[in-house]
């Protein structure tokens, strides 16, 4: 089976992301969860913090590797012999953007395939932005994130960063 890659910013990782990771891990021998270090954005969590949170969340999935990268996703895929890109879809609006990215990735790296997974219905509304916003206003986000992520969010709130 090919190596697959699930790229994203994961700021923070949500139960929706974990749903896609768990399901993808069953489909591929090796899944690289690739955490984007995007210098054009100001994330809540550093790339190192996001990698650590994901490693803890995925510790019980033996074929998942969490790594960070910057630059083009296809270049990172090529460096890691990944031939499949996994993308989660919540709604039709996600598809419009994701299909454009899939075609661009294939044009830049012929042979890379994109697999779209519909997010499970229970997480179809969830995004990292929603989690950050709810945490900012001191709402209970435990249903959206794992305990380690909730703890990290609480710490950021205490520091006044959310």
Per annotation, catalytic residue among 24, 50, 128, 156: 128
Cβ contacts of 114 within 8 Å, gap of 6 or more: 84, 85, 86, 87, 98, 101, 102, 105, 106
List the end-to-end C-alpha distance of the chain, in Å, as a whole number.
41
Phi and psi (nearest 5°) for 70? Answer: -135, 165
Q: Are 148 and 53 in contact (CB under 8 A)?
A: yes
Decide if 90 is catalytic. yes
**Which of 17, 50, 132, 156 is flagged as catalytic?**
17
Q: Is 120 an annotated catalytic residue?
A: no
Q: Which of the following is catalytic: 23, 90, 124, 136? A: 90
- For residues 83 and 115, give the distance between their C-alpha atoms in angstroms, rounded to a whole number: 11
15 as an active site residue: the answer is no
Instruction: Return the H-helix or E-strand segment holding 117.
Output: strand 113-118
- The set of residues, in sequence order, having a beta carbon less than 8 Å from that of 43 and lying 6+ positions away, is 9, 11, 50
Catalytic status, residue 41: yes
Residues carrying an active site annotation: 17, 41, 90, 128
């Amino acid at each position: 089976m090919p190596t697959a890659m699930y790229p994203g910013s994961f700021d923070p990782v949500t139960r929706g992301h974990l749903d896609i990771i768990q399901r993808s891990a069953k489909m591929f021998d090796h899944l690289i969860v690739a955490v984007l270090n995007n210098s054009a954005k100001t994330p809540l969590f550093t790339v190192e913090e996001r990698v650590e949170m994901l490693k803890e969340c995925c510790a019980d999935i033996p074929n998942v590797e969490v790594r960070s990268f910057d630059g083009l996703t296809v270049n990172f895929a090529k460096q890691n012999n990944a031939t499949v890109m996994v993308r989660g879809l919540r709604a039709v609006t996600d598809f419009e953007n994701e299909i454009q990215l899939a075609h661009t990735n294939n044009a830049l790296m012929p042979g890379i395939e994109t697999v779209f997974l519909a997010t499970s219905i229970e997480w179809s509304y969830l995004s990292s932005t929603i989690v950050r916003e709810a945490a900012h206003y001191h709402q209970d986000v435990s249903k959206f994130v794992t305990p380690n992520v909730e703890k990290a969010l609480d710490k950021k709130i205490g520091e006044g960063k959310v």
